[in-house]
Amino acid sequence: MQNKSTTYSVVSTIIFIGLLLWWFFSNYIPPSGTYIGILAVMGVIMALLPPPSEKTWLKLMCIGIFTILFILETKSLYKARDDARSADERVIKHFETLISRLNVIQQNFSDLINEQKYIINNLNTSKKMQEETLKKVKEREGALVPDNLPNPTCRCSVPKNKETLYFAGGAATDMMFPFSVLRVRGKELIVLDKDSKGFYITAKIFDDRGDLIANIMKNKFTATYAASRIVSSKSNLIVYDHRDDMAFFVRFTNKHSIEIKGNFYSPDGIKIEVDENKLTFNTNTFSGNCFYGGRGFMEIN
């Protein structure tokens, strides 16, 4: 009976040692303290059992079991330490990733702010350019209003309070409206007109290239960018061409009197030069002519 009990003990011990060895070499590692608990339980069991026999193999077996449990517990502790390190490394890596993402967000936010500043600066620049352009456009637009000056001196006899054109040293008065001041090949360059509201001039001024540099419609004028500059006041308008030569001059001396001169071109390049004393066309010169009545001053075909 004793031999049978010994056999069972040996077999049980071998199985237990086998399980311990499987735990040792397998990837499964129980939580730390498990093997310490097993050692404690075995210690209690051995304390309750009768004293062991004096057999050496049994002592060696117990020592082997205790040694395996110690090694397994040590392995478990190292595994717990490695897991803690891995967890710390994951936390650090996660924190570094978070910091990196925050830096990217901060950079994106900074880029967004810079982009907004750039857009605002462009808007401000565009606004300034628009204001400057509008200012320039307004400088090139306006309306002529009759002044209250005496009539220019002229050799022609001019009736009082009659609409009169002073042109090339002469004058045209007692006109029939609309009155064609200058027509070239069927195109009206300068026309005078009158209605119940006043005395008007309508004109299209071209330069030697055939470009329109100024347009006047019933005293309201617009100079194009083909004109190098204009000089205007309440009753005066001077337009300069691309060479900065005076192309057109008009003055509303008073509500009955208007004075015109300039270097006039038709769209196809025909030149008519008019100053204070004469009109020159090709080799022809006209000076101090007086016109009374009629619907036109000069027509070139």
Nearest by Cα to 238 from 58, 149, 228, 41: 228
Contact (CB, 8 A) for 151 and 253 = yes
Strand partners, 299: 183
Task: Pick from 30-44, 84-98, 164-178 the range whose average pLDDT is largest.
Answer: 164-178
**Would the pLDDT of 264 be above 90?**
yes
| pLDDT computed for residue 14 by the predictor | 62
CA distance 54 to 297: 153
Round the average pLDDT of the chain to a whole number and report it.
81
Nearest by Cα to 152 from 8, 226, 257, 250: 257
Contact (CB, 8 A) for 240 and 227 = yes
**Would the pLDDT of 263 be above 90?**
yes
| pLDDT computed for residue 123 by the predictor | 77
Question: Higher model confidence: residue 195 or residue 85?
Answer: 195
| Beta-strand pair 290-292/170-173 | parallel
What are the pLDDT digits (tens) for 109-141? 888 888 888 888 887 776 776 666 555 555 688
Question: What is the identity of the amino acid at 279?
Answer: L
**Domain coordinates in residue numbering, the chain:** 2-95, 164-300
| pLDDT computed for residue 205 by the predictor | 95
| pLDDT computed for residue 17 by the predictor | 63
Q: Is 92 left (phi over 0), alpha (psi -120 to 50) or beta?
A: alpha
Question: Higher model confidence: residue 248 or residue 92?
Answer: 248
**Would the pLDDT of 76 be above 60?**
yes
| pLDDT computed for residue 243 by the predictor | 92
Question: Higher model confidence: residue 57 or residue 71?
Answer: 71
Task: Pick from 22-26, 42-46, 113-117, 126-130 the range whose average pLDDT is largest.
Answer: 113-117
| pLDDT computed for residue 120 by the predictor | 82
Contact (CB, 8 A) for 152 and 270 = no
Contact (CB, 8 A) for 159 and 268 = no
Residue 146: pLDDT band (50, 70, 90) is very high
Question: Higher model confidence: residue 288 or residue 6?
Answer: 288
* Predicted TM-score of the model (pTM): 0.57
| pLDDT computed for residue 103 by the predictor | 86
Measured CA to CA in angstroms, residue 205 lies from 89, 141, 254, 300 at distances of 84, 15, 23, 16
